Amino acid sequence: MSTHDNLLRVGMVGYAFMGAAHSQAWRTVNRVYDLPARVRMALICGRDGGKVAEAADRLGWEGHTTDWRRLVESDEIDVVDICTPGDSHCEIAIAALAAGKHVLCEKPLANTVAEAREMAAAAARARTAGVRAMCGFNYRRVPAVTMMRQLVADGRLGEIRHVRAVYLQDWIVDPQFPLVWRLQKDKAGSGALGDIGAHIIDLTQYVTGQLITGVSAATETFVKERPLPAGSSGLAAQADGNGRAMGQVTVDDAAVFVARLDGGALATYEASRFATGRKNALRVEINGSLGSVVFDLERLNELEFYDATRPAAEQGFTRILVTEAEHPYMSAWWPPGHIIGYEHSFTHEMRDFVEAVATGTDPTPSFADALQVQLVLDAVVRSAELAAWTEVEPTLAELAA
Ligand X SMILES: NC(=O)c1ccc[n+]([C@@H]2O[C@H](COP(=O)([O-])OP(=O)(O)OC[C@H]3O[C@@H](n4cnc5c(N)ncnc54)[C@H](O)[C@@H]3O)[C@@H](O)[C@H]2O)c1
Closest CB to ligand X among residues 35, 71: 71
| Residue 286 CA neighbour count, 13 Å, CB half | 30
Residue 53's SS3 state is helix
Q: In terms of CB distance, is 265 or 370 closer to ligand X?
A: 370
Quote the least distance from Cβ 136 to ligand X, whole Å.
5
User: Collapsing DSSP states into helix, strand and coil, what is residue 97?
Assistant: helix
Half-sphere exposure of 254 (CA within 13 A, CB side): 19
CB of 199 to ligand X, least distance (A): 7
Burial of 20 (0-12, 13-18, 19+ CB in 10 A): middle
Closer of 90 and 151 to ligand X (Cβ): 90
Distances (CA, A) of 155 to 159, 201, 261, 289, 302: 8, 21, 17, 10, 20
State which residue, 343 or 362, has the beta carbon closest to ligand X.
Answer: 343
Residue 43 Cβ vs ligand X, minimum distance, rounded to whole Å: 12
Element (H, E) at 322: none
Identify whether 143 is preceded by a cis peptide bond (ω within 30 of 0).
no
Residue ranges that bind ligand X, judged by CB under 6 A:
13-19, 45-47, 68, 83-86, 88, 106-107, 136, 138, 195
Min dist CB 326 to ligand X, Å, is 26
The torsion of the CA quartet 270, 146, 6, 45, rounded to 10 degrees, works out to 20
Strands (E) located in 125-211: 133-135, 160-168
Looking at the Cβ atoms of 157 and 375, the one nearer to ligand X is 375
Distance CA 145, CA 399 (A): 26
Nearer to ligand X, 72 or 131 (CB): 72
Residue 107 CB, shortest distance to ligand X, in Å, is 6
Coil/strand/helix, residue 301: coil
Number of H helices, E strands in the chain: 11, 18
Nearer to ligand X, 38 or 187 (CB): 187
- Residue 151 vs 297, nearer CB to ligand X: 297
User: How close are the terminal C-alpha atoms of the chain, in Å?
Assistant: 21
Tell the smallest beta-carbon distance from residue 50 to ligand X (Å): 12
